[in-house]
Every structure is written in structure tokens, then in C-alpha cells.
């Protein structure tokens, strides 16, 4: 891969525009802010992109959160997730849930979204369904401010995992 800080804006957005789910504006703003040599590592680039996320308006942050799919939700069942989300959910076994697990995830998704106004987000790589459900059960009772911050942290963690995948880490 060409060094990130030597890419044109279009090359950069083409390469990293999908790191944050359906939110290429983060890659665009990251490039527009200027990229140093620190952008040439997964951790360095994620740090740059995470700063864009955290500096965004609450409305833009909410839009970013809402761009994420439900875990084991309708998009997963219908095969309409992004390639990255499909792979991440499958790695956690969410595509092989028991009916009982699936039903609980559906109920938790509905309760969570009606409570917070955005989907439950968790970096699921390296986790298994029981751990995900337990995390979900705990977080659904958080207050909105706490959960909004946690969801943004999870989005940034997902971005890091995706970047590490691109770097082969």
C-alpha cells in the first residue's frame, strides 16, 4: 500500500472511506486536516480519524451511530450488511445464533433503539454471542449520555480493528 500521507484525497477516501460505516465524511475530513507520517500505521490513522469523530457535532455523531446496523438484525438476515459488518458479525457467531439468542437480540435491539434513538454498537471481533448478549443486557440500562459516549468509543474501536485488518495486523 502506498504511504497514507502520500495519497491523493481521492485515493485516501477510496481506501478508507468505508472504515466508519457509511460515513466517508470522516475520511474526507481526516485528509482535509492534513496527514503526517503518523497516518502510515493503523493506530496512527485511527487516532486521526477518531479525533474527527469526537470533534463532530452531536448531530453528525448521531448520524454516524445510526449508520450502524443492528447486531443480528434485519439487514444481517437479509444479507444486506456491508462486507465488513457481515464478516465482523459472522466472526462472533451472530450468524449462527440459536433461536432463543436471536429472539433475545431482536428484543434487546428494539428496546435499545427505542430508549436511545440509535442502534446498540459493540466491536464484536473476538467476542462470542453469550458475551455480546450479556454486554447488551448491561448497556441497555445505561443513561443516554453514558451510552452515547460508549457507542462512539465502540465505533472508534471498530475502525481500529478494520484498519488493523487492512494493515494485516
As annotated, the active-site residues are: 68
How many Å apart are CA 104 and CA 141, to the nearest integer? Answer: 15
The DSSP symbol for 71 reads T
Q: For residues 152 and 57, give the distance between their C-alpha atoms in angstroms, rounded to a whole number.
A: 12
Largest Cα–Cα distance of the chain, in whole Å? Answer: 50
| 92-99: long-range contacts, CB 8 A cutoff, minimum separation 24 | 92/124, 92/125, 92/126, 92/127, 92/128, 92/129, 92/132, 93/128, 93/129, 94/124, 94/129, 94/132, 97/72, 97/129
Amino acid at each position: 500500500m502506498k504511504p497514507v500521507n502520500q495519497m491523493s484525497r481521492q485515493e485516501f477516501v477510496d481506501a478508507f472511506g468505508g472504515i466508519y460505516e457509511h460515513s466517508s465524511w470522516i475520511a474526507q475530513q481526516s485528509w482535509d486536516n492534513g496527514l503526517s507520517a503518523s497516518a502510515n500505521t493503523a493506530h496512527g490513522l485511527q487516532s486521526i480519524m477518531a479525533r474527527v469523530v469526537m470533534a463532530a457535532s452531536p448531530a453528525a455523531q448521531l448520524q454516524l451511530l445510526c449508520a450502524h446496523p443492528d447486531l443480528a438484525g434485519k439487514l444481517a438476515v437479509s444479507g444486506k450488511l456491508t462486507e465488513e459488518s457481515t464478516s465482523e458479525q459472522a466472526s462472533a457467531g451472530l450468524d449462527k445464533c440459536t433461536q432463543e439468542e436471536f429472539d433475545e437480540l431482536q428484543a434487546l435491539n428494539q428496546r435499545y433503539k427505542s430508549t436511545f434513538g440509535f442502534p446498540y454498537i459493540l466491536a464484536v471481533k473476538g467476542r462470542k454471542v453469550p458475551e455480546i448478549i450479556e454486554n447488551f443486557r448491561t448497556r441497555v440500562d445505561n443513561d443516554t449520555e453514558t451510552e452515547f459516549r460508549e457507542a462512539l468509543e465502540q465505533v472508534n474501536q471498530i475502525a481500529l480493528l478494520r484498519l488493523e485488518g487492512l494493515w494485516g495486523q
